Amino acid sequence: MILLLSSQFLFALQTISIILIPAYIFLSLEYKLIKRVKTKTVSVGPVKIGSAHPITIQSMTKVSTSDADAVIAQIKTLAAAGCQIVRCAVPTAADTAALKKIVSASPIPVVADIHFSADRALEAIEAGVAKIRLNPGNIKTKSEIISIIDAAKANKVAIRIGINEASIRDLGQDTPPDRRTALMLKEMRSYIRLFENHGFNQIVLSAKSSDVLRTIEINRAISKNFDYPLHLGLTHAGIPEDAAVPTAAALGALLSQGIGDTLRVSVAGDPVEEIRIANEILTSLGIRPRTEPELIACPTCGRAQINVVALARKIKTILALIHKPLRVAVMGCIVNGPGEAADADVAVCCGKDKAFIYRAGKKIATVSTEDILPQMQKQITSAAKKL
Amino acid sequence: MILLLSSQFLFALQTISIILIPAYIFLSLEYKLIKRVKTKTVSVGPVKIGSAHPITIQSMTKVSTSDADAVIAQIKTLAAAGCQIVRCAVPTAADTAALKKIVSASPIPVVADIHFSADRALEAIEAGVAKIRLNPGNIKTKSEIISIIDAAKANKVAIRIGINEASIRDLGQDTPPDRRTALMLKEMRSYIRLFENHGFNQIVLSAKSSDVLRTIEINRAISKNFDYPLHLGLTHAGIPEDAAVPTAAALGALLSQGIGDTLRVSVAGDPVEEIRIANEILTSLGIRPRTEPELIACPTCGRAQINVVALARKIKTILALIHKPLRVAVMGCIVNGPGEAADADVAVCCGKDKAFIYRAGKKIATVSTEDILPQMQKQITSAAKKL
The predicted structure's pLDDT at residue A173:
66
* CB atoms inside a 10 Å sphere around CB A366: 12
A262 and A311 in a common domain: no
Report the b/e string of A82-92 with b at 16+ CB within 10 A: bbbbbbbbbbb
A3 part of a folded domain: no
Chain A residues 303-322 with CB within 8 Å of chain B: 303-304, 308-309, 312-313, 316
DSSP tag of A131: E
Q: Tell me whether residues A335 and B71 touch, CB distance under 8 A.
A: no
Q: Identify the residue among B6, B92, B327, B336 best suited for mutation to test binding to A, counting A beta carbons within 10 A and taking the highest.
A: B336
Q: Which residue has the higher pLDDT, A174 or B272?
A: B272
Q: Which residue has the higher pLDDT, A58 or B31?
A: A58
B181 and B255 in a common domain: yes
- pLDDT, mean of residues B94-119: 98
Q: Identify the residue among A58, A110, A210 best suited for mutation to test binding to B, counting B beta carbons within 10 A and taking the highest.
A: A210
Give per-residue pLDDT as tens, A205-236. 999 898 999 999 999 999 999 999 999 999 99
A117 and A179 in a common domain: yes
B308 and B279 in a common domain: no
A192 and A158 in a common domain: yes
A179 has a chain B CB within 8 A of its CB? yes
Q: Name the strands in the sheet holding B85-89, side by side, starting at the edge strand that comes first in the sequence.
A: B203-208, B158-164, B131-134, B110-114, B85-89, B56-60, B262-264, B231-232
Q: How far is CA A49 from CA A134, A239, A284, A291, in A?
A: 17, 28, 21, 22
* CB atoms inside a 10 Å sphere around CB B35: 9
A6 part of a folded domain: no
Terminal Cα-to-Cα distance of chain B (whole angstroms): 45
**Which of residues B261, B284, B307 is at a domain's end?**
B284
CA distance A166 to A172: 10
Tally of domains within chain A = 2
B14 has a chain A CB within 8 A of its CB? yes
What mean pLDDT is reported for chain A?
Answer: 90
- Weakest mean pLDDT among A158-162, A238-242, B141-145: A238-242
Q: How far is A234 from chain B (nearest CA, A)?
A: 11
Give per-residue pLDDT as tens, A339-385. 888 889 999 999 888 999 999 989 999 999 999 999 999 999 999 99
What phi and psi values does residue A89 have, to the nearest 5 degrees?
-75, 140
* CB atoms inside a 10 Å sphere around CB B121: 29
CA distance A203 to A200: 8
CATH of the domain at B219: 3.20.20.20
Q: How far is A151 from chain B (nearest CA, A)?
A: 24
User: What is the residue-wise DSSP string for B344-365?
Assistant: SSEEEEE-SSEEEEEETTEEEE
A30 part of a folded domain: yes
A163 and A188 in a common domain: yes
Give per-residue pLDDT as tens, A322-336. 999 999 999 998 888
B298 and B258 in a common domain: no
* Structural domain harbouring A336: 294-385
The predicted structure's pLDDT at residue A195:
98
A256 and A325 in a common domain: no
A356 part of a folded domain: yes
3-state secondary structure of A352: coil
A342 part of a folded domain: yes
B272 and B306 in a common domain: no
Give which of B126, B341, B267 is closest to A313, Cα–Cα. B267
CA distance B75 to B66: 14
3-state secondary structure of A170: coil
Q: How far is CA B9 from CA A208, A220, A260, B3, in A?
A: 26, 17, 22, 11
A345 has a chain B CB within 8 A of its CB? no
Under the banding of pLDDT at 50, 70 and 90, the label for residue B169 is: low
CA distance B232 to B205: 9
CA distance B113 to B196: 21
Q: How many residues does chain B have?
A: 387
DSSP tag of A209: B
